[in-house]
């Protein structure tokens, strides 16, 4: 993974916001993620994300994190999404039955 990010954070309130997102994304959680760009993704959290140090624009160092979401596809396949924590607007836990249904 690159050590660069489009956005990095150093303010305590921003870091707390990222930590709150992490708390909603435990290992193997089935979730629906509403993204800032309007996408709605459903899947299983592959591993608990962590805050990491990245370099942002102008080589500013700060924190951000990535969550890996495994979106189930037909016939047992999965699509992998690596998503920046700061791009997630909302997290909704899902049941196994909900995960199997379309997001729209």
Domain count, the chain: 1
> Considering the domain boundaries, does residue 66 fall inside one?
yes
How far apart CA 69 and CA 61 sit, in angstroms, is 26
Identify the domain containing residue 96 by its residue range: 12-100
pLDDT tens sequence across 58-99: 999 999 999 999 999 878 889 999 999 999 999 999 998 898
Nearest to 42 by CA among 86, 1, 83: 83
For residue 50, give the CATH number of its domain: 2.30.30.720
> Considering the domain boundaries, does residue 17 fall inside one?
yes
> Considering the domain boundaries, does residue 4 fall inside one?
no
> Considering the domain boundaries, does residue 61 fall inside one?
yes
- What is the average pLDDT score of the chain? 93
> Considering the domain boundaries, does residue 36 fall inside one?
yes
| pTM to 2 decimal places | 0.89
Predicted local confidence at residue 82, as pLDDT: 96
- Positive or negative CA dihedral for 70, 46, 42, 39? negative
Predicted local confidence at residue 14, as pLDDT: 97
Tell me: pLDDT of 104 over 80. Answer: no
How far apart CA 47 and CA 73 sit, in angstroms, is 19
């Amino acid at each position: 993974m690159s050590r660069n990010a489009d956005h990095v954070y150093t303010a305590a309130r921003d870091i707390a916001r990222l930590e709150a997102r992490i708390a909603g994304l435990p290992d193997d959680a089935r979730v629906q993620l509403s993204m800032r760009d309007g996408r709605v993704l459903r899947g299983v959290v592959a591993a608990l994300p962590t805050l990491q140090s990245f370099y942002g624009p102008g080589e500013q160092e700060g924190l951000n994190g990535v969550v890996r979401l495994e979106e189930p596809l037909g016939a047992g396949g999965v699509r992998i999404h690596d998503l920046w924590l700061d791009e997630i607007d909302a997290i909704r836990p899902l049941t196994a039955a909900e995960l199997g249904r379309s997001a729209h």
